[in-house]
Amino acid sequence: MSVYYSVVEVTPTSEEWIPSYIEQVTQIVAKHGGKYLARTGSHQQMEGDRESAALCVIIEWPSKEAAVGLMEDPAYAPHFKARSEGAVNHHIFVEGKDDFA
């Protein structure tokens, strides 16, 4: 079974949702087996011409089912809604494999 990664770029448009999101979602991610590898504003865009996000989050998941489990968890739904309404977000889901090896 492959590991999976969530790579999330977040640019808040309001900050009122952030403290509750961090406090609650950290626990929900852990419940689904996720491990934060990075949650930071310390990043540098190396390629491309789109505007760089304010924050970059990388989460390692033990399986695809674990990551999907977070997204489908009713406890996560209000936090997802708050982030969606209070930030510009890009979420990429990556399987930890090399298709070209």
Write the pLDDT tens digit of every residue in 32-88.
999 999 999 999 989 999 889 999 999 999 999 999 999 999 999 999 999 999 999
Write the pLDDT tens digit of every residue in 3-34.
999 999 999 999 999 999 999 999 999 999 99
pTM metric for this prediction: 0.93
The partner residues of 94 in beta bridges, in order of sequence, read: 5
Q: What is the arrangement of strands in the sheet containing 4-12, beginning at the earlier edge strand?
A: 35-40, 55-61, 4-12, 87-95
Give the domains, in start order, of the chain with CATH numbers: 4-95 (3.30.70.100)
Taking each helix axis from N to C end, the angle separating 77-86 and 18-31, rounded to the nearest 10 degrees, works out to: 140
